[in-house]
Amino acid sequence: MSYYGEGVERMTTTQKVQAMENLGLNGPLYKQYINWLSNAVQGEFGISYKYKQNVTTVIGDVYKNTIVLGGLGYVLTFLFALLLGIFCTLHEDKLIDRIICKVGVVTTCIPSFWVSLVLILIFGINLGMLPSSGAYAMGQANNLVSRLEHLILPLVVLIISHLWYYTYMIRNKLVEEIRRDYVLLCKVKGLNKKEIVCKHCLRNIMPSYISIMAISVPHILGGTYVVEKVFSYPGLGTLSFESAKYHDYNMLLVLCLLTGTVVVFINMMAQIINDKIDPRMKHDRSENDWNDNTATLK
């Protein structure tokens, strides 16, 4: 249906049967799936019904955009989360910390698509400062400034909607850490607050920080998908929404496969890095860690 678009209504029955035959849509569902699977193993992912091209070529055109947006958002989110977490710990229970906490809780509640709408309304329409859709202005695909301009709003939304989640975790860990005995020793030695937190406490929370980073990949990736759609930024997210809308199952299957693979791969990498940083982690695996995180989430 999505292959022929509007034309479906004009087709005769025989044409329809013929079309079904061509696209391999006859036969029961499980047979189609096995068919797809056996092709996929051989690197044949079939064609996208909507774009009438190989799925791999369609994805090949846009995946870089998602990597740029998601990657930048990921790095910046964790950078800011770390800085804000340290800042909150240094000013624990002071007015500024409490204000940040309250605002942070509110930002996690706001759905990211609404933040993007409001930001587009303010900056895109009313002030006219920033472009609000696409990845670059017409015919300026290689213009770096234009690309950056288009990245600002999606990035801001991505960061706003995920920042507090991680800042809160880091703040909790740090606040726990500065109650330890060695911090007192450092204080006696005459180190100032900043030095203690940055040099000693941070090193101790690093393993859990990294495992949080690994767990958060699907979270931020999911966020990227929504943001991409709102800003109609050509990337995997927009693609997956489009293919869901037009019942482009081949595309959707491949996108799920791709995302899953990336996530599993990154999780494995995080495990390896963790083992390197802190050999203690090898014994009590991520089980405890994960429970900790879910308790501190929200």
Partner 1 sequence: MERQYGDFEIVGENYLSYEIKVPKRKTFREWIKEKPYISISVLLIIIVGCVFPGIITKSAPAYMDLSNTNVAPNSTFYFGTDSLGRDIFTMIWYGGRISLFIGVFATVISTTIAVIYGSISGVASELIDDMMMRFTEIILSIPSILIIIFVQAMIGQANPVSIAIVIGITSWMNISKIIRSEVRQIRNSEYILAAKCSGASFFYILKQHLLPNFISAIMFMVVTNVGSAIGIEATLSFLGIGLPLEIISWGSMLSLAEKALLSNYWWIILIPGIFLVSTLVCITNIGDYVRRNNNKEFSNL
Q: Which residues bind partner 1 (CB under 8 A)?
A: 105-106, 108-114, 117-118, 120-121, 124-126, 132, 218-219, 221-222, 225-226, 229-230, 240-241, 243-245, 247, 249, 252, 255-256, 259-260, 263-264, 267, 290-291, 294, 298
Residues 6 or more apart whose Cβ sits within 8 Å of residue 273 = 210
- Minimal distance in Å, beta carbon 14 to partner 1? 26
Separation in Å, CA 219 to CA 56, 98, 238:
24, 26, 17
- Minimal distance in Å, beta carbon 271 to partner 1? 12
Residues 6 or more apart whose Cβ sits within 8 Å of residue 86 = 170, 174, 197, 198, 202
- 247: alpha, beta or left? (left if phi > 0; alpha if psi -120 to 50): left
Q: Assess contact for 112 and 221: CB atoms under 8 A.
A: no
The residue (of 54 and 108) whose beta carbon lies closer to partner 1 is 108
How many residues comprise the chain? 298
Q: Assess contact for 161 and 168: CB atoms under 8 A.
A: no
- Minimal distance in Å, beta carbon 246 to partner 1? 9
Residue type for 234, please? P
The residue (of 83 and 264) whose beta carbon lies closer to partner 1 is 264
- Minimal distance in Å, beta carbon 229 to partner 1? 6
The residue (of 17 and 244) whose beta carbon lies closer to partner 1 is 244
The residue (of 184 and 244) whose beta carbon lies closer to partner 1 is 244
- Minimal distance in Å, beta carbon 200 to partner 1? 28
What residues does 53 pair with on adjacent strands? 48
The residue (of 55 and 226) whose beta carbon lies closer to partner 1 is 226
